[in-house]
């Protein structure tokens, strides 16, 4: 890859796009083999491509039930795609380089910087080491807890495999599950809506995977440094606020809904509300029937999915820091202030412009794909908007539309997942012309706003 990159002078965003595309193509070919299908009949390549894209982009939208359709081989391919897609193929390549004691070049550091959405190269290799250690430790711990809990229902061997698969899936915010043979097709974790162990561990995995590796590293170093960076403070505050307000609104809206919270006791209602508030962080697992939620709740979840996780994480969306910047800009404008101040730090104008750009590009993508699918798919508008937003946020929640998508619909949703995982700006930089330095600036003009 280094030789090719040097010959054609690929930029870091272009290498990321090509790398993910190649990984998805390989996964598609493996999933379309007869050995991957439980029936022995090869999966349609388009369906295999959709599934591989969903796994590599850690989304979780599926056209077939993962647990019943795929063999152990097929499920292992999906789990590998989730792990590599969640941590990033360059992160995995760096791990092999460490193992072979190879030196990380400047070009590779630049690609890692782009992949992890970092502002500088300082400490990037050290961060990669921490990413691998934290990820494997968290996944292993959760897998053991899952295995112990599920051994009661599934037996030791099956429980161990289920524990590993779901620990990898949930930490990487993928949302894939293999409970089809146990609790029914496309059931996710609905059978465990009131189970405190499964809820607590799953939510812990989703949150840890969604806050970003930089934040994890900062938290681990807190005992030594006794301070947190501005980025970490913003991410933790925004994540806590969104989870808290989300759980409260879902609890209120669904309290009497007989298809969701209605039949549960108070502890079950609280757990289910919390889980449904956490999972739009781009996780995709659910303990309530998403199609059974009231329309107000479904629309609110669309907003949460659009915001998504945090930068440098396994999740998608416009990110919590972008959302916080926009809210900060609104508050500053209403109060007549010139600067956006967060935790006694002023944000630079380039950060604000980037936040606005990301949001507008993301909104344009979601609106455009939704409009096209509203023409090609014979389903309710809210269901289509939910599906598209879920794909962009790499969430994986669905109101049941995915298996019924037309071929064009699958292609468009797959493209949306791909764009959501890489980030709309990364894709734009990869496909757009190389930026040139401006030699002059136009005089400032004024227009009336509002």
Q: Is the pLDDT of residue 170 over 50?
A: yes
Q: How confident is the model at residue 426, as a pLDDT?
A: 67
Residue 71 predicted with pLDDT over 90 = yes
Structural domain span for residue 209? 125-426
Q: What angle do CA 185, 53, 38 make, to 5 degrees?
A: 40
Mean pLDDT of 393-419: 94
Q: Which residues 6+ apart lie within 8 Å of 110 measured at CB?
A: 12, 121
Residue 4 confidence (pLDDT) above 50: no
Task: State mean pLDDT over 7-36.
Answer: 85
How far is the C-alpha of 20 from the C-alpha of 341, rounded, in Å? 37
Please indicate whether residue 263 or residue 436 has the higher confidence score (pLDDT).
263
> Can you tell me the distance from the alpha carbon of 60 to that of 412, in angstroms, rounded to the nearest whole number?
16
Q: Is residue 49 part of a domain?
A: no
Note the pLDDT of residue 175: 87
For residue 343, pLDDT beyond 50:
yes
**pLDDT at residue 176 above 70?**
yes
| pLDDT at residue 381 greater than cutoff 80 | yes
- Backbone φ and ψ for 275, nearest 5 degrees, come out as -65, -45
Please give the average per-residue pLDDT across 361-383, as a whole number.
95
Higher pLDDT, 88 or 167: 167
Does some domain include residue 106?
Answer: no
The whole-number average pLDDT for the span 13-25 is: 84
Share of the chain above pLDDT 90, in %: 60
What was the pLDDT predicted at 95?
57
Tell me: pLDDT of 423 over 90. no
Is the pLDDT at 2 greater than 50, yes or no? Answer: no
Check if the beta carbon of residue 316 is closer than 8 Å to that of residue 309: yes
The CA angle 384-424-167, to the nearest 5 degrees, is 75
Examine residue 111 and state whether it is found in any structural domain, yes or no. no
Asked if the structure places residue 224 within a domain, the reply is: yes
- What is the model's pLDDT at position 1? 44
Task: Please state, as a whole number, how many other Cβ atoms lie within 10 Å of the Cβ of residue 227.
Answer: 10
In a domain, 306, yes or no: yes
pLDDT, position 13: 72
Give the number of domains in the chain.
1
Asked whether residue 269 is assigned to any structural domain, the reply reads yes
Say if 211 falls within a structural domain.
yes
Task: State the pLDDT at residue 214.
Answer: 82
**Residue 222 domain flag:** yes
| Predicted local confidence at residue 5, as pLDDT | 43
pLDDT of residue 40: 93
Q: Which of 96-105, 191-200, 257-266, 342-351 has the lowest mean pLDDT?
A: 96-105
How much of the chain exceeds pLDDT 70, in percent? 85
> What does pLDDT average to over the chain?
87
- SS3 string, the chain, reads CHHHHHHHCCCHHHHHHHHHHHHHHHHHHHHCCHHHECCCCCCCHHHHHHHHHHHHCCCCCCCCCHHHHECHHHHHHHHHHHHHHHHCHHHHHHHHHHHCCCCCCHHHHHHHHHHCCCCCCCCHHHHHHHHHHHHHHHHHHHHHHHHHHHHHHHCHHHHHHHHHHHHHHHHCCCCCCCCHHHHCCCCCCHHHCCCHHHHHHHHHHHHHHHCCHHHHHHHHCHHHHCCCCHHHHHHHHHHHHHHHHHHHHHHHHHCCCCCCCCCCCHHHHHHHHHHHHHHHHCCCCCCCCHHHCCHHHHHHHHHHHHHCCCCCCCCCCCCHHHHHHHHHHHHHHHCCCCCCEECCEECCHHHHHHHHHHHHHHHHHHHHHHHHHHHHCCCCHHHHHHHHHHHHCCCCCCCCCHHHCCHHHHHHHHHHHHHHHHCHHHHHHHHCCCCCCCCCCCCCCCCCCC
The closest alpha carbon to 166, from 29, 268, 267, 66, belongs to 66
- CA–CA distance, 54 with 421 (Å, rounded to integer): 10
CB count within 10 Å of CB 448 equals: 4
Query: What is the C-alpha separation between 88 and 375, in angstroms, rounded?
Result: 35
Other Cβ atoms within 10 Å of 245 Cβ, number = 13
Judge whether residue 91 has pLDDT over 70. Answer: no
Residue 132 has pLDDT above 90, yes or no: no
- Closest listed residue to residue 118, CA positions, set 214, 210, 207: 214
**Would you place residue 404 in the very low, low, confident or very high pLDDT band (cuts 50, 70, 90)?**
very high
Give the mean model confidence (pLDDT) for residues 280-304: 93
| Interval 42-69 mean pLDDT | 95
Whether residue 301 has pLDDT greater than 80: yes
Residue 363 pLDDT exceeds 50 = yes
Across the range 113-134, mean pLDDT stands at 66
pLDDT in tens, 306-318: 999 988 777 889 9
How many Å from the N-terminal Cα to the C-terminal Cα in the chain? 50
**So what's the pLDDT on residue 434?**
60
Residue 23: pLDDT over 70: yes
Reply yes or no on whether the pLDDT at 50 is more than 90: yes
């Amino acid at each position: 890859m280094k030789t090719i990159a040097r010959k054609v002078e690929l930029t870091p965003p272009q290498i990321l796009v090509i790398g993910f595309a190649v990984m998805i193509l390989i996964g598609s070919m493996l999933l379309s083999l007869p050995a991957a299908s439980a029936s022995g009949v090869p999966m349609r390549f388009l369906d295999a491509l959709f599934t591989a894209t969903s796994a590599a982009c850690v989304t979780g939208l599926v056209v077939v039930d993962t647990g019943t359709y795929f063999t152990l081989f097929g499920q292992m391919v999906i789990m590998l795609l989730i792990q590599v897609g969640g941590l990033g193929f360059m992160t995995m390549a760096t791990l092999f380089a460490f193992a072979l004691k190879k030196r990380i070049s400047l070009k590779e550091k630049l690609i890692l910087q782009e992949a992890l959405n970092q502002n500088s190269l300082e400490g990037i290799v050290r961060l990669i080491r921490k990413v691998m250690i934290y990820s494997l430790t968290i996944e292993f711990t959760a897998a053991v807890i899952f295995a112990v809990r599920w051994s009661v229902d599934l037996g030791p061997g099956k429980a161990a495999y289920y524990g590993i698969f779901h620990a990898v899936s949930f930490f990487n915010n993928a949302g894939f599950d293999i409970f089809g043979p146990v609790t029914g097709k496309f059931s996710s974790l609905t059978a465990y809506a009131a189970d405190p162990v499964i809820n607590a561990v799953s939510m812990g995995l989703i949150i840890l995977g969604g806050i970003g590796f930089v934040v994890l590293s900062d938290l681990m170093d807190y005992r030594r440094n006794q301070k947190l960076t501005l980025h970490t403070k913003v991410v933790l505050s925004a994540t806590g606020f969104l989870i808290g307000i989300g759980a409260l609104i879902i609890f209120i809206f669904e309290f009497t809904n007989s298809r969701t919270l209605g039949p549960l006791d108070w502890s079950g209602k609280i757990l289910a509300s919390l889980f449904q508030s956490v999972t739009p962080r781009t996780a995709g697992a659910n303990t309530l029937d998403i199609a059974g939620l009231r329309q107000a709740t479904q629309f609110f979840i669309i907003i949460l999915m659009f915001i998504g996780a945090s930068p440098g994480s396994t999740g998608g969306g416009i990110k919590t820091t972008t959302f916080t910047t926009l809210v900060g800009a609104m508050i500053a404008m209403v109060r007549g202030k010139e600067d956006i101040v967060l935790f006694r730090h002023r944000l630079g104008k380039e950060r604000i412009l980037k936040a606005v750009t990301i949001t507008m590009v993301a909104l344009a993508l979601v609106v455009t794909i939704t409009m096209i699918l509203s023409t090609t798919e014979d389903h309710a508008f809210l269901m289509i908007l939910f599906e598209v937003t879920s794909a962009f946020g790499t969430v994986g929640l669905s109101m049941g539309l995915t298996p019924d998508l037309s071929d064009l619909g699958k292609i468009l949703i797959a493209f949306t997942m791909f764009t959501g995982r890489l980030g709309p700006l990364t894709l734009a930089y990869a496909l757009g012309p190389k930026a040139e330095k401006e030699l002059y600036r136009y005089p400032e003009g004024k227009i009336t706003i509002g």
